[in-house]
Amino acid sequence: MNSNDDNLLQSPFGSRHLLRYPLPARAQQSLRAWDAADEYLLRWLHEQDLQACTPTLVLNDQFGALTCSLPCRPLWSQSDSWLAQHACQRNLQQLPDNGLEQPQLLDSLQWPTSPLQLVVIRLPKQLALLEHQLYCLRPLLAATTRVVAAGMVKHWPASAQQLFEQILGPSHTSLAWKKARLLHCTPQVSGSQGQGWPGQSPYPDHYQLPQPPLRLGNHANLFSRSGPDIGSRFFLQHLPRPDAGAEVIDLGCGNGILGLAMLQANPQLHMHFVDESHMAVASARDNLAHNLPAVTDAHWHVDDGLRSFADNSADLVVNNPPFHQQAVVGDHLARQMFRDAHRVLRPGGELWVVANRHLGYHLRLQTLFGNCTTVAGNSKFVILRAAKA
């Protein structure tokens, strides 16, 4: 275990050695696996004199700071992010045995089945995810359930409190502490669907793509839910056309828009859809079933990039890379994706990337692959192709 004190979270529940996943690049090594919002939450929760036997759900823990610290059991911890869950799992494994039952990690489509007494929420970046989660929480709450949320003031969504009040009940926010804030909510849940019932989650929602004709559904945490983002729209006009039987990977597939468009043009491809978001892969799977029901042998991977793919196993990777992990903006995930693609492609196999022109990804691909061609470009985006030697 690395005993570097920078990685030691000290809270009233004790000290926890916590690491992010992926580990930050050298330039970002000051990034810790928790922030002041986690510390504020833990301080407040400690003051509540919680009983050990308090059925508790943690939502959207970033790297496990809350899940690793709270002593309440049973403890469920739900996240849409494979990266966040993996960090949490690894941090839990480093804890000395405290005799407590292990927390149960749930993905964003799984919910506890028994009532909760405490719900601890890190406000997510996507407000739609919060909205969906609040609707799904309702049936699990009683009037006595404590619901507390936290976030950093600079990332605090303007309408978060309104959503809590509309869906769960009266809410108020705390004073800021170290630029973090808490929100306390008193659920008003009658349990019946009569007067005052706020309705159902509106997610997944849908949009219709005119060309290629695809009806695309998006679970709540999806990137660009109201229509394709401008990068993907541009990519759709220039997608590669591999031969039937080719092993193709839609890396960071989101709702599957790129892979589905390629399958629509050629249903004989062996298409792999990969994303670290559980909701993304679930959306892509639903979208394939709805739009191309005859294609039954697509492959689904919730994972960090191409970790689980063998070397030299694919003919083509298409990629519209992410530009942030949670609140941290940067190209570290994109760079890892390019390295993964280079490893996984067969000699002669190609990586096609759509990216903002100013990011300079052609230089990176040129260094990694020894070649890089611009397939198309406009004032904002470029589509780059690099072939493995």
Ligand X SMILES: C[S@@+](CC[C@H](N)C(=O)[O-])C[C@H]1O[C@@H](n2cnc3c(N)ncnc32)[C@H](O)[C@@H]1O
Footprint of ligand X on this chain (CB under 6 A)? 83, 223-224, 228-229, 232, 252-254, 257-258, 274-277, 280, 304-305, 320, 322, 333
d(CA 165, CA 92): 34
Query: Smallest distance, Å, CB 286 to ligand X?
Result: 15
Residues 120, 54 contacting (CB under 8 angstroms): no
Smaller CB separation from ligand X, 33 or 253: 253
d(CA 98, CA 274): 36
**Distance, first Cα to last Cα, the chain:** 39
d(CA 32, CA 51): 29
For β-strands 381-387 and 373-377, DSSP reports them as antiparallel
- Cβ-Cβ contacts under 8 Å for 253 (sequence gap 6 or more): 259, 273, 274, 275, 280, 281, 284
Query: Amino acid identity, residue 191?
Result: G
Query: Smallest distance, Å, CB 13 to ligand X?
Result: 30
CA–CA distance from 87 to each of 23, 32, 98, 335 (Å)? 9, 12, 20, 19
Residues 372, 386 contacting (CB under 8 angstroms): yes
Query: Smallest distance, Å, CB 350 to ligand X?
Result: 17
Residues 220, 203 contacting (CB under 8 angstroms): yes
Query: Smallest distance, Å, CB 349 to ligand X?
Result: 19
Query: Smallest distance, Å, CB 182 to ligand X?
Result: 28
Beta bridge partners of 256: none
Query: Smallest distance, Å, CB 5 to ligand X?
Result: 28
Smaller CB separation from ligand X, 147 or 333: 333
Smaller CB separation from ligand X, 70 or 354: 354
DSSP states along 202-251? --SEEEEETTTTEEEEE-TT-SS-SS--HHHHHHHTT---PPTT-EEEEE
Smaller CB separation from ligand X, 169 or 231: 231
Query: Amino acid identity, residue 327?
Result: A
Query: Smallest distance, Å, CB 256 to ligand X?
Result: 8
Residues 304, 87 contacting (CB under 8 angstroms): no
Which of these, 330, 328, 332, lies nearest to 31 by C-alpha position? Answer: 328
Tokens for 279, please give them. 């909701």
Smaller CB separation from ligand X, 141 or 354: 354
97 Cα distance to chain centroid? 29
Smaller CB separation from ligand X, 9 or 354: 354
Smaller CB separation from ligand X, 61 or 276: 276
Query: Smallest distance, Å, CB 245 to ligand X?
Result: 23
Smaller CB separation from ligand X, 181 or 219: 219
d(CA 157, CA 149): 12
Tokens for 345, please give them. 């492609």
Smaller CB separation from ligand X, 94 or 326: 326
Smaller CB separation from ligand X, 9 or 280: 280
Query: Smallest distance, Å, CB 169 to ligand X?
Result: 32
Query: Smallest distance, Å, CB 105 to ligand X?
Result: 17
